[in-house]
Amino acid sequence: MADLLYEVRDGAARLTLNREAQRNAFSLDMIDLFQEYLTRAEADADVRAICITGAGDKAFCSGADLKSLIQDPTKASEILYTLAPVLHQSILEIRRMRKPVIAAINGVAAGAGLSVALACDFRVMAKSAVLRQAYTSWGLCIDGGGTFMLPRLVGLARALEIAAFDPPITSEMALQWGLVTKVVEDGQALDAALAMARELAERSMHSFGLVKQLLTDSFTTPFEVQLERERIGVSTCGGHPDGLEGMMAFAFKRKPSFNKDGSSGS
């Protein structure tokens, strides 16, 4: 069976890391395919949301499969230097696509697995699951955008604590610290993520995509530039079928019906 599964059902693309015996760790081939499937989901007008999860109930993703990647210790630096941008392209795809991406954290998320989860727009975590940054415990540097997302989600002081001590982060801690959107009972993470995807699919994909882009860019955009981008964004929405439908629904006090133009967020 394939190490990475992809299917589209009821408007949601499901990406399942399917190496249960290896705790769904990424191989180099998997990371290439992961980016390919994300690009496919972004381009598919039938896809309104993307859910990422791991096979089984033990792990979301335990990171990169270092045993298979580093056979020759003398080439470790070269291999990791080559691997990082492949993973980073997937992270960029998640952050840049104008569709919601939801991580269904069914088990441990560590290393690159945590970085992927943090890059997603929303995270649904099983009650017994655990988060670990893991890198520094093995003498490595965090990658996969983890050093960007962590301080933005939990603040610099907490991010430094996580980086320095690598504590196992329980679902209760993760929710309290703002690392996850919600916590559900074990075995229900994917179902809860898909339910979230269905709810999001009823909202305007065009509006979501623009706001996601603005929020993502806001950390590096001067305030005056951000205001101008908001001006362009709101006026663009006002001329889009979703924006017109929303304003009509508001004026006549009815529920709006979005995404009728088939654009799926474009």
Q: Which of 121, 143, 240, 242 is catalytic?
A: 143
Question: What's the chain's average pLDDT?
Answer: 93
CA-nearest of 61, 35, 46, 59 to 13 is 46
Q: Is residue 103 part of a domain?
A: yes
pLDDT digits (tens, 9 = 90+) for 121-139: 999 999 999 999 999 999 9
pLDDT higher than threshold 70 for residue 264:
no
Q: In this structure, what is the dihedral angle of CA atoms 90, 91, 97, 103, given to the nearest 10 degrees?
A: 100
The CATH number of residue 40's host domain is 3.90.226.10
pLDDT higher than threshold 60 for residue 167:
yes
Say how many C-beta atoms besides its own lie within 10 A of residue 244's C-beta.
13
Average pLDDT rounded to a whole number, residues 107-133: 98
Picking from 185, 201, 217, the residue at the C-terminal end of a domain is 201
- Tokens matching residue 166: 């690598």
Q: Does residue 143 sit in the same domain as residue 178?
A: yes
Name which of 15-24, 80-89, 149-158, 190-199 the model is least confident about: 80-89
pLDDT value for 244: 93
Q: Does residue 121 sit in the same domain as residue 155?
A: yes
Active site residue 143: yes
- Quote the number of domains for the chain: 2
Q: Is residue 57 part of a domain?
A: yes
Q: Is residue 264 part of a domain?
A: no
% of the chain beyond a pLDDT of 90: 85
pLDDT higher than threshold 80 for residue 259:
yes
State if pTM tops 0.95.
no
Q: Is residue 260 part of a domain?
A: no
Active site residue 65: no
Q: Does residue 195 sit in the same domain as residue 217?
A: no
Q: How far is CA 130 from CA 104, 138, 162, 171, in A?
A: 13, 18, 13, 6
Q: Does residue 152 sit in the same domain as residue 40?
A: yes
Q: Is residue 263 part of a domain?
A: no
User: Cα 73 from chain centroid?
Assistant: 32
Q: Does residue 100 sit in the same domain as residue 226?
A: no
pLDDT value for 266: 52
Q: Which of 32, 88, 166, 261 is catalytic?
A: 88
- Tokens matching residue 208: 């979501």
**Is residue 124 within 8 Å of 193, Cβ to Cβ?**
yes
Triad 175, 149, 16: Cα angle to 5°: 75
Q: Does residue 211 sit in the same domain as residue 185?
A: no
pLDDT digits (tens, 9 = 90+) for 38-96: 999 999 999 999 999 999 999 999 998 877 666 777 778 888 888 889 999 999 999 99
For residue 96, the enclosing domain spans 4-201
Q: Does residue 25 sit in the same domain as residue 136?
A: yes
Q: Is residue 35 part of a domain?
A: yes
- Tokens matching residue 80: 């990791």
